[in-house]
Structures are given as structure tokens and as C-alpha cells.
Structure 1
């Protein structure tokens, strides 16, 4: 044996052994599967068995192949049978296809004819649906026509009538859409038919509504009447006729209710006594009548608003005002005749003023509800008559209180009794006017009616008195008048004028009092000298020598001890403490002014008085303080 071959073979074997030793059986799946299969038939691990292992494996492989061949032979036999069946089926299908193609060719004309008939049927069905829909939407049924025309002309209107009328209007409106779709002739025919039906329905509705308004008995309006007015709104002439008919009926009912309230009772508020039971009391009589109107008119307005509440006209407010004016027109004559009768009777001015305020109050309220109507015109006329009657009566009472001849004052110079009577009358009337509306105008007019004649008489009476007595009497009268007017508002201008007259009399009285003091204190010569323009020192002028000046100051000191002795006796007759105080203060200020002029003259060195302080015991300021204190 060749050594190189042996060594080469050994190295290969060694490499394989190493490879086997290095390989890990747990990672070789094929080897594991082979070993697992080997374990099924290699059960005896002997030397003989290992030697026969190869042949055993080969026999086993051969056996398996023979089994596979036997099984595959059965499969092939089955597949051959399937193939024969598929060939037979294909032959049958081909035969059926040929028969179907022949049948399809034969029935093609029949299918075309059937399709055409089906399309024609659908078209006819659609036309029938359109016709039915058109008849339903553009024609009335026989029952609807019967409801619209009614069994007779006098048949009542029902809710179904308005439903049918609305349908007629809807069809008429839809005809415009039909015209826009190209069916002008058909649309015009239907529209003409609906127009005739509308006119007939409105005519019947107008007659029924007019009858309902003519025979309306209560204040509750039926809902059907409200719907009827809404329908008639499209016919202004018919609408106006019905509204006039309603106003006529309500006017008659309202006048009847007013007369019943006057004569029988049953007025608003549940009162059962007739209003004319209080005809002897003008204020209550007029107030009850106007209060009845104030309660009745809003009810009528509410009824009219209810009647036309379903209408959509923009001028409905003007219609309501006009209708209310027509309804309330019948109240004017009975109201005016009775109020004029009250204004013609003899009654105190306060009663006439109360009636005037009542008329003015209700006239303002009613005018807001029924403006520009016969009733408001009547109330305006009555208000003017009442105001004239009040002023006339007040002037008459003023003249009666003054009397035919002016009363002369007594020795006490207090206001004459006529002054107190007139002021009492004025106070009574103003107390009523102070709580009334528009009281400023009324109060000023009342004061003018009373105070102007009173002042005229007072001035006429005072003009016959001496100057001092006249001033005192006028001041006493002014004081009493001012005291009365000061209790009320809006009297500022009148009080200012009275105060100006009183100030003039105070000036007169002050002048007379000052002249009396000057005369009693022998201030006349001194005042004349001080006012003169003689040249030279005052001490050299007769009557201005130191002895005469000292004699005057001594007399002035005695006057300061008892100043009331030299006051005019009429000053004590002034009723106003303010007037007495003002008169004394102003007259004393005149004496103080003359004293200050004398004091300054004596202390002037150019008048050559020796020791002038010995001539005066007081300074001008001290004297004035002592006089006015």
C-alpha cells in the first residue's frame, strides 16, 4: 500500500470525524427526523443488526414505494373516470348552449315587443297620475262646492267654508306657477273658474257678516266673524260696509246702555242706582256720566281690535279711531244736553270749578283713545263752556262779596269785611284748584278774577283817607292778601307785585314818620342849615351855636328813653310786625343820618366848635344801634 494514499485517506477520515464531532445533532433537523424514523424499526442494536441495517433500510424503502404506487394507481383510475364524466358534461353543455342560442334568437322579437308595451304602460300610468294630481290640486270636489255655495243664501257660515275658501285662493295662486310652466290656456281657464268661485264666496260671506254685525247683541265676538273680516279685507269696499254696519249697531247699543245707566241703573262697576238720581249734585252727576264713558269706550275699542285682529292692513289704527268715533258719536247729544243743563243752574263757583276739572280730566283721557272725533269735539266744547261758566260765576261772587258800594275802614284801619269775604272765597277756590291738573293756569286766572277787583276797591277806599291812614290801611290789606296767596304755589309774580306796592306804602309811611320825628325833635332848622350852602363856620350860625346843639342832643337822649312817645299812632295799627319794624327802622335811620351829619359838622375844625365831644354823649354808630335795638 502506498504510504501517501494511506496518509491522505487518513486525513480525510480525520476531517470527517472532526466534522461529525463538531456538529451538534440538536440543530440538525433532518438528522433528528431520520433517527426518529430509524427508531421505529431498528429495535435491536446488535452487530448483526447493524451490518444488515443498510439492506433493511433499502427493503423498507422499496416497500414504501410499492405502497405509493398501489395508491397512485387507484387515484389515476378515479381521475380517468372524472375525465370521462367531464367530457360527457361538456358535450351536454354544448348541446344546451346550441339550443339556448336557437331559443334566444327566436324570442328576441317577442322581448322587444314586450319592452315597448311595458314602456307604453308606464307612460300611460304616469299620465294618469298627473291627471289625478292635477284634478286634486286644481279642482274642487263636489262636497267642497256644496260647502262653498251652501244649501241656501241664508245658510250660516262654518269653519269648513273658510277652509274651502282658502283652498280656492290657493288654487288661484298656484295657477301663476302653472302659467310659468307653459300651460297658459289651462291656467287661465282654471284661474277664471276660481275667480268666479271666489266672488260667489265673498258675496255670501259679506251678506252673512253684515247680518251678524247688524244683529250683534253682546260684546263677545264670534271667532267666525273675526275670520270673515280677515277674508273681506281683500275687498276694501265690502270691508268698509261691514265695518260701518258694525259701528251703527254698536252705536245704537252703546247709546241704549248709556240711557239705561242714566235712568235705570246697571252701570259699570255693578251699581244699580240710576246716574240721574244724583242730578242735584253737579259734581257727582257729571263725574258719574264721564266715568261711565271712560269705562265703556275702552270696551268698544277692545271689541274693534278683536274684530280686526286677523287683518293685516297697515292703517288698522286709523280704522279703529274712525270706527270708535262713529260708535261714540251717538253719546254726544245726551251727554251735552245734560252737562249744559248743569252749567246753567245756580251753583257756587267751587262747584263749577270741580265740574271743569272733571271734564278736563276725562277729556284728556278720552282724547287719547278717540282722537279727532265728534265726542272729543263735544268734550272740548263742554270744557270751554264750563270754564266760562266758572269764570262768570266767580266774577259774580266777587262782585257780590264787594257789594255795590265800597265799605270804608274803621278807626282801627283793619281791612274791610269785603276783603275778608273775598279772601275767604279765594282760599276756598284755590284749595280746590291746587290739587287739579293744569293748576298753574287755573290758579293764576282765579287770582286775577278775585285779586284785581279787590285791589281796585282797596285802592279806591284808601284814596279817601289821609296819607298816613291810607298807607296803613293799604299795608294791612296787602298783608292779609299776601298771607293768603303765600299758602299756594305759582304765586311768586303776584306776591312780587304786591310786595312792590307794599314797599311804596312803606316808603310813604316812613317819610311821614321821619317828618314827624324831625318836627318833634326840632331837627328842622338844623337839617335846613346843614343842607344849606351858607359860608362860614357852623358855630356862628344862629340855631347852630353850641347851646342849641346841646339842647337838641339832650332832647334826643330823652327820646331814646321812650321812643314810642313820638311815633305816629297809626303805626300801632299795622297788623304786620314786619311792617311796623321796617317803618320804625327806616325812620330812625333818617334821624341817625341827620345826627351823623351834625356830629361830623361839629367835629370839623373849620366850624370852630370848642370841645365838640362835650356836645354829644353818643357817636352816630352808638345812636343808630340804640335806635334800632
Structure 2
């Protein structure tokens, strides 16, 4: 087109096209501007635009070729297709309009039919109105009747029990099983719910049902009471699987405290009789029932050994108590506090059975259990006490009596931990222990009285007398027995508990030894006393609760000091120095008393004879002292004092010679000096006595 356009233009101008810049053509300028706008719009268009992309996609689908013919007819083809589409749409909407006309006619017909039906309904409503009102009244009455019937059925279901249930509850021919307890629970619920009926205007029904349920409950508890008594007669507490029914029955029966207590009394009497017979069978070995022979040997076979005899009886009683308590715990305590709660509820329902104690303190299941065990074993402990007292009274042996007393006290501590301090069984055992201890004290005093002559005579070898040795041997047995019976006491209690035994089994014999000591002369008295005290201290030190070292040591120290003094005196006497030590205190008295040198020479010679064997002679002097360590210490201290005395005398001799040397006017060589007559020195004495 551009070529034709420019060609035509040049032909119009005579074959020559001259475009003058100074006089441009108006049409050319307009076409140039349109072309620029078109180019600008094309260049400014974004080919990412959805409309352009859709247009290009449609052109792609048509499969058109980019030719001049196609570009000229494109718009016409598109407009033709658009006109065809619009025509199809108009045809479709024409069909829709025809259908809408048919629907309008159908709606109009339906409206006319509804109007007719409404007229007929109004007429029928006017005719059936009275009948509907009557029907509503009848339905209301029916609902009321049905409600009353439901109430009646519910009342009968809740407050009335059937004859079969009543027979199960009250008839003794029927067993006490789960059905019995279920019905009993229901009757108790009826009895409680009668309080609601008593709160209504008409109380007659509530009173009648309350009276009827009370009779039924009383009959049921009487049946349960008799059943429990029958079960108690055949109940085997040694069976680890005690019936759960009896436990449940006791828990329920506790709601009637009077019946429950009667059952316990009956049970206690039966168990006391059974356990007493079992104890007698264990003593003799004769079985009460041929089907249940006695296990083990008869206890009386060990009657020749009194301690074992009583120990076996106490062990049987303890084993029976433990078994009885464990069985009764299963029977009475396994349900927790259910029995206590039932008794509390029963006291509320039986005001006449309430006491001041019940108001102050709640029911204590453990305490009641301990009391029941006490009652069950009362017969056993009575027999045990009688037989034990016979054993104690028939044997005059202090050691045996004390062992029995300790054994009983040991079991008292066991029973106290098992049953409590307030147990009545302990009131049976404590007098038995007191009887044994009285027999021990009486026997010991009689023994001391029989030794009256021996308590005043010392042995030739100054060893502890036989009565003290025997007493210490007995005391060792007593201490061993006491040590095994007070395992639960602290140290202070153990010491305080054994002091009365020492007062009976030791103090009289120590007093006898002290009397003998007073009759002896020194040093024999001190040797004898030390031998006795050391033997006593050694024996008592075996057990801390009997140790009397703090009491005996001052007495030992006092006798040791006296014995040192006696050995020191013996040293002075045997060495011949006693006159010098006792009479010479100054140099002047030495010079005046021993003017004749022969006297000092004689003493010096006797000292020389004494010193080589002084230590051995001193050991022989203390040979009867059994504690050799003490004897060596006494000799050493006595020798030390002897050396000190000699050194003082030596100093006086030297001083006396110096005084004489100052007083001599003649020839000094003719004087006889004291030092020459007494040449020994203190160092030599220490060496010889060391």
C-alpha cells in the first residue's frame, strides 16, 4: 500500500515526486501522525497482558496464515461469528421464555386449588373443634393417671419388698448370703427414706412403713446374730482363708452395738476355752481331737529343766497370741474403719446404749482387738502363771529364779509391743516376774546368812575367798542373762535396772571382804583387799551396764597408796636405814647420835647386804598380790621413795662432815669421817634398785 500510495502520488505530479520541506502536504502529515500513534501503541503494549495472550492463542487455534488477505478479512470474520453466537443465544432465551409461560400457568392453577382447600379446612376445623378439646382433656387425664401409676410403681419398688425377699431376710431357714445383705441394705434404705414421708402432710403412710421396716430390720439382725454365733462355734481361726461372709456379717452386725458386743463375749468365751484346751494339750501331748494331733513334743517332757519348761510355755503363749492377733486382725480390722463407722451409726440408732465414754472417745478398733485377744488368752496365762509359780517356789536356786524373772520380763516387753502397755495379760506376767525376783533376793540373803562364818576368815594365800569367787561366777551368769533380756533398753536404763541385782548378789560379799580386811595387818590387809577388788572389777568390766570402775578405782588407789607405804617401810627396815630416816633430821643430830663410827659402818654393811637382792626380796614380799603389774608399780614407787630418803641422808652426812671439819682444831688426818663410814651414793642405790 505504501508503494502504490507513493506511486500514485508521483503520477499525479507529472512523473516527478518532489516533497518540499517548506510546504508539506496536510494529508501526509495526518497519515504520518496516525502511523506514529499506531506504532507507539503497539510498542507500548505488553505482550504479557492476558487479553493479548488470549487473542494470540485464539489466532493460533484458527491456524490462520499471516497474509494480507487474512489481515483484511479478520475483523469481518470475527464479527460474523459474533453475530451467529448472538443469534443462537436469542433462540435459546426464546425457548426459556416459553417454558416460563407454562410454569406461570401451573402456579396459577395451584393457587386456585389452595384457595379451595383452605375453604374446606376451615369448615372441617369448625366441625372438629369440640372433639379436639375433648380429646385433649382425655389425654391430659391419661397422662395424670400414668404419672400416678409410675409413682405407685416407684413407691412399691422402693418402699415395699416382696414376700420372697422378706423370707430371705428374716427366715432362719434361708442362708445368710449376698441376697440377704442386698435385701438388708435395701430395707435400711427404706427405713432412712421414711423420714421424707414423715415430712409430708399425710404422715400415716410414713409411720406405717417406718414401723414395718423397723420390725423387718430387727428380725434380720436377730437372724444375723444367731448365724454369727453358729459360725463362731465352728470357726477355724488357723485357716488363713477366713470366710469373707463372716467379716461382712460382723461389719453389718456392728450397727447393733448390743448384739455385736454379745457376739464378741460369746466368741471370747469360746476362744478362751479352745485355747486353754490347746495349751493343756501342748503341755501333756494328748490331742483333744484325734484328727488333729499335737505337733512336737509335750512341753512337760522338759519339766526337769525348769528354765526351759517355763521358756517353752511362754514361747507357746507368745506364738498363740501372735496367731490369735493376726487372725482377729483379718476378722475385725481387715475392713479398715468400717466396724467403727457401723458402731458409731449403731450408737446413733440405739441411744440407750450410749455412755459418756462413747460420747468422749470414738470406737478404737485396735484397742478393742487387743482387749479381745486378752480375753481369749486369759485362761492360758492363768495356767502358765500357776505352773511357773510352782516351779519358782519348788527350786531354791537364786540363779534359776533370776533367769526366770529375766525371761518373764523379756516376754513382758514382747507382749507390751504386741498388745500395748494396758494389756491385762501383762497384769498376769508382772506378778510372776516379781515372784521370781523376790525368790532370787530371798535366796541370796539366805545364802549370805549361811556364809556368816566364812565372811570373817581370810585365806592363807590372801587370794579372794571362795564365797567371793562363787559370787562372781554367779554374777557372770546373772549378767549374761540380764544382757539378753534388756535388748530394747538404752544404756542408762540398763545400768539402773541392774543396780538392784548388784546390791543383792555382790555388795554383801564385798562387805564381807572388807570386814576380813579390817582384821588383817598391813600389808596383808591391802594385798587381800586389792586381790578382791581387782577380781571384782575384772568380772564387772565384762558388761558395760555392771561396770563399777568409777566406784572401785578410788578404793583400789587408796589400798595401793597404803601398800606403797608398807613396802617403803619394809625397804627401810630390811636395809637397816629405818633408825636413820626416822630419827635423823639435821646434821647436828646425826653428828651427836652417831659419834661412834662403828654404828654407821654396821648400817652401811647391812645396806650392802640388802641392795643386791632388794628387788627380788620385795617381789617375794608382795608375792601374794595377784596383779603383778600393780606389784611392780608398787615396788618401783617404794624404791623411789627409799632412794629419796637415802639422798636426804647422804646430804646430811656430807653436811655433818663439813661442820666437823670446821670445828676440828687438831690434825684433820686423824679424824674418822662419816662419809668414809657410809660410802654409798644415791646414784649407786638407784642403779642397784632399778
Relative to the length of structure 1, the TM-score reads 0.77
Q: Which whole-Å deviations, capped at 9, do the CAs of 1:308-345 have from their partners, x for residues lacking one?
A: 23433142222112212221111233212211121122
Q: How far apart, in 1, do the equivalents of 2:369 and 2:107 lie?
A: 102
Counterparts of 1:103-118 in structure 2, within 5 Å, are 103-118=124-139
Change in Cα spacing, 1:396 to 1:35, as seen in structure 2 (3 Å) is same
Q: How far apart, in 1, do the equivalents of 2:414 and 2:101 lie?
A: 121
Instruction: Find the partner of 1:294 among 318, 326, 339.
Output: 318
Per-residue deviation, 1:17:
12
Q: How far apart, in 2, do the equivalents of 1:433 and 1:269 lie?
A: 37
Per-residue deviation, 1:360:
1.7
Mean alpha-carbon deviation: is it higher for 155-164 or for 379-388?
155-164
Mean alpha-carbon deviation: is it higher for 116-125 or for 319-328?
116-125
Q: Aligned pair 1:100/2:152, yes or no? A: no
Change in Cα spacing, 1:389 to 1:20, as seen in structure 2 (3 Å) is same
Change in Cα spacing, 1:81 to 1:377, as seen in structure 2 (3 Å) is closer
Q: Aligned pair 1:592/2:649, yes or no? A: no
Change in Cα spacing, 1:252 to 1:35, as seen in structure 2 (3 Å) is same
Q: Which whole-Å deviations, capped at 9, do the CAs of 1:407-437 have from their partners, x for residues lacking one?
A: 8556544444444444444444444444442
Q: How far apart, in 2, do the equivalents of 1:21 and 1:577 lie?
A: 149
Q: How far apart, in 2, do the equivalents of 1:37 and 1:564 lie?
A: 159
Q: Aligned pair 1:475/2:530, yes or no? A: yes
Structure 2 stretches lacking a partner, 5+ long: 1-24, 43-50, 59-71, 341-362, 663-672
Q: How far apart, in 2, do the equivalents of 1:236 and 1:508 lie?
A: 80
Which secondary structure state, in structure 2, belongs to the residue aligned with residue 608 of structure 1? helix
Contact 2:537/2:547 (8 A) holds in 1: no
Contact 1:350/1:428 (8 A) holds in 2: yes
Per-residue deviation, 1:84:
6.6
Per-residue deviation, 1:162:
0.9
Match of 1:210 in 2: 229
Q: How far apart, in 2, do the equivalents of 1:272 and 1:496 lie?
A: 50
Change in Cα spacing, 1:597 to 1:378, as seen in structure 2 (3 Å) is same
Q: Aligned pair 1:326/2:353, yes or no? A: no
Q: How far apart, in 2, do the equivalents of 1:149 and 1:627 lie?
A: 113
Counterparts of 1:21-170 in structure 2, within 5 Å, are 35-36=76-77, 90-150=111-171, 153=172, 155-170=174-189
Q: How far apart, in 2, do the equivalents of 1:248 and 1:446 lie?
A: 41
Structure 1 stretches lacking a partner, 5+ long: 1-9, 41-56
CA-based RMSD of the aligned residues comes to: 4.5
Q: How far apart, in 2, do the equivalents of 1:85 and 1:614 lie?
A: 177
Per-residue deviation, 1:88:
5.4
Instruction: Find the partner of 1:560 among 579, 604, 611.
Output: 611
Instruction: Find the partner of 2:441 among 387, 391, 394.
Output: 391
Contact 1:520/1:566 (8 A) holds in 2: no
Match of 2:65 in 1: none
Instruction: Find the partner of 1:513 among 545, 564, 567.
Output: 567
Match of 1:352 in 2: 401
Q: Aligned pair 1:305/2:324, yes or no? A: no
Q: Aligned pair 1:626/2:687, yes or no? A: yes
Q: Which whole-Å deviations, capped at 9, do the CAs of 1:131-176 have from their partners, x for residues lacking one?
A: 22222222223322221122xx465422211111111112233344
Change in Cα spacing, 1:582 to 1:116, as seen in structure 2 (3 Å) is same
Q: Which whole-Å deviations, capped at 9, do the CAs of 1:185-231 have from their partners, x for residues lacking one?
A: 65454334322322222222223323333454554543222222212
Relative to the length of structure 2, the TM-score reads 0.71
Contact 1:286/1:355 (8 A) holds in 2: yes
Q: How far apart, in 1, do the equivalents of 2:326 and 2:680 lie?
A: 88
Which secondary structure state, in structure 2, belongs to the residue aligned with residue 312 of structure 1? helix
Contact 1:603/1:609 (8 A) holds in 2: no
Instruction: Find the partner of 2:428 among 353, 375, 378.
Output: 378
Counterparts of 1:567-586 in structure 2, within 5 Å, are 567=618, 570-586=621-637
Q: How far apart, in 2, do the equivalents of 1:464 and 1:82 lie?
A: 157
Per-residue deviation, 1:443:
5.2
Contact 1:360/1:383 (8 A) holds in 2: yes
Mean alpha-carbon deviation: is it higher for 272-281 or for 172-181?
172-181
Per-residue deviation, 1:398:
5.4
Instruction: Find the partner of 1:340 among 384, 389, 398.
Output: 389
Which secondary structure state, in structure 2, belongs to the residue aligned with residue 308 of structure 1? helix
Counterparts of 1:605-616 in structure 2, within 5 Å, are 608=659
